[in-house]
Every structure is written in C-alpha cells, then in structure tokens.
Amino acid sequence: MKRVAILSSGSGSNAQALIEYFEACENIHVVYVGSNRPKAEVLERADRAEVNNGVFSKSDLLDGTLKDNLDILGVDWVLLAGFLLKIPGDFCNRYKERILNIHPSLLPKFGGKGMFGMNVHKAVYEAREKESGMTIHFVNESYDEGAIVFQGRVDISNLKSPEEIASKVLKLEHKYYPKISEELITLAEE
Ligand code: GRF
C-alpha cells in the first residue's frame, strides 16, 4: 500500500479526480490533502470525500515542518494539483522521483514563473497555437522543469477563447492525472 499526499492551492478539481480514482485502487491510498490557502475549495472537496486535510503556511513548507508532518503520516508520494508555491530543495530531495505536478500546457511551452491558471491559457490563445494540452512531470527546484513523464494533447484550432481552451485542457487533466500517477506509483514500487 502506497500512501499519497495531494497539495493544492485552489479549486481542487484535479485533487478530487485523484481522490475518486484512488478510492477504487487497492494499492494506493490518499492520506492527506493539504493547502497553503485556508479558504481553498480543495479543502471542502476533501471534507466531502472524508479525506484527512489541513492547512499549512509557506514557512511550514520552507522550514521542513510540512515535510516532517508528511513523514509522520507515512507519505510515500506527493502529487501537486494546482499548487502555487515553489517546492524547496530539501523537500524535492526527500521525495526524489516521488513528487509529480500537472501543468496545463505542453511544456516546455508556456511554463515557468507566472505561468499558472488562466495566464497559461491566455498566452496559448494569444500565440494562436493550434494545439495545447497538459503535462505531467516530476518536480525539481525550478518551476515546470522536472522530467516530463506524460503529455496529453488537444486540438484547439477551432476554439474561440482562453476559457474554452481551459475547459478542454482541464478535462484532459482529469482523465490522465489519476491514471498516469497510478501507473507510475505502481511501476516504481514493484
Ligand atoms: C490545473 O489546470 C493544473 O494543471 C494547474 O492548476 C490547475 C488546477 O485546477 N497546475 P484545479 O484546482 O485542479 O481545479
């Protein structure tokens, strides 16, 4: 049994997709949903799903408190799902190749500092891209630069706004993030 923590700063629709998917998995259990934002909707989603959840501060992340708390919970893997703070080096080392992120573009395009949420989709729209998608990657100390493990693509040539792109990409994220993380976790732990 592998124990997973999900970190999210916002709405948490991906976190919910992960929780629901792993409910049916025998070998993976979501033991914690954490947010740096006390009012983040992800915490309500975790409550409704009856998953242990809590709030931590930026300094908890930076000074090792969060890492120590995840150790106490016996967390093996960390899945970032709309988590906006930068992950410090000692946290990355603790979860080396056991920490994943999802990004709503085809990295390395439209990644890096400031590229999150609608900023990404607006930039994609303004660049008149014909295709967009989502990327699942390992996390290192630089935003959006860890090794890419999976990309899902969608045709956006007929879409008329950044919002339409966001909606299409989000569907892809919900479809693939749970499935690909399950495959990776299962493979790595065999
Ligand atoms: C997703 O687009 C994800 O790729 C990005 O932030 C967004 C989070 O959406 N990192 P949600 O909070 O999962 O609804």
Whether residue 146 has pLDDT greater than 80: yes
Hey, what domains does the chain have and what are their CATH numbers? Answer: 2-104+135-151+174-189 (3.40.50.170)
Distance from residue 162's CA to the centre of ligand 1 (Å): 15
Residue to mutate, 6, 101, 102, 171, ligand 1, most ligand atoms under 8 Å from C-beta: 102
Query: Largest Cα–Cα distance of the chain, in whole Å?
Result: 49
Distance from residue 174's CA to the centre of ligand 1 (Å): 9
Kindly report the protein residue whose alpha carbon is nearest to atom 8 of ligand 1: 82
| Phi, psi dihedrals of residue 16, rounded to the nearest 5° | -65, -40
Residue to mutate, 139, 173, 177, ligand 1, most ligand atoms under 8 Å from C-beta: 173
Asked if residues 150 and 176 have their Cβ atoms less than 8 Å apart, the reply is yes
Q: Indicate the pTM of the whole model.
A: 0.96
Kindly report the protein residue whose alpha carbon is nearest to atom 5 of ligand 1: 82
Residues 16-27: tens digit of each pLDDT: 999 999 999 999
- Scored b (16 or more CB within 10 A) or e, 81-96 reads bbbeebbbeebbebbe
Question: How many angstroms separate the CA atoms of 190 and 175, rounded?
Answer: 24
pLDDT at 22: 98
Q: Rounded to 10 degrees, what is the CA torsion of 105, 109, 112, 113? A: -80
Mean per-residue pLDDT, 71-81: 98
Q: What is the DSSP letter of 86?
A: P
Ligand 1 atom closest to 14 (CA): 13
Residues 100-134: tens digit of each pLDDT: 999 999 999 999 888 999 999 999 999 999 999 99
Question: How many angstroms separate the CA atoms of 50 and 160, rounded?
Answer: 39
Concerning whether 103 is annotated as a catalytic residue, the answer is yes
Whether residue 93 has pLDDT greater than 80: yes
Whether residue 143 has pLDDT greater than 80: no
